[in-house]
Amino acid sequence: MQGALAGVSSELVLQIVEAAAVVASAIAGMIIASSKRMDLVGTFALACVNAFGGGTLRDLLLDNRPFYWMANWWFFVAILVIAVPFVYSVRVFHLATEMHRRSVWMDALGLALFTVSGAGIALAHGAPLVVAVLMAVVAGTTGGVLRDIVVNEIPDLFRPGGLYATASLAGALVFVACLAQAFEYGTAAIAGALIVVALRVLSVRLGVAMPSPQWAATAGGARASRSRASAQRALATDSRRHAFGHVEKSEDRDDVAP
Q: How confident is the model at residue 243 (pLDDT cuts 50, 70, 90)?
A: very low
Residue where a domain terminates, one of 162, 190, 206: 206
- For residues 216 and 132, membership in a common domain is answered with no
- For residues 196 and 90, membership in a common domain is answered with yes
Residue 64 one-letter amino acid: N
Count of structural domains within the chain: 2
Q: Which domain holds residue 229?
A: 212-258
| Ranges 14-28, 154-168, 237-251: which has the least confidence | 237-251
pTM score, whole prediction = 0.69
- For residues 248 and 156, membership in a common domain is answered with no
| Ranges 55-69, 97-111, 193-207: which has the least confidence | 97-111
- For residues 131 and 243, membership in a common domain is answered with no
- For residues 138 and 216, membership in a common domain is answered with no
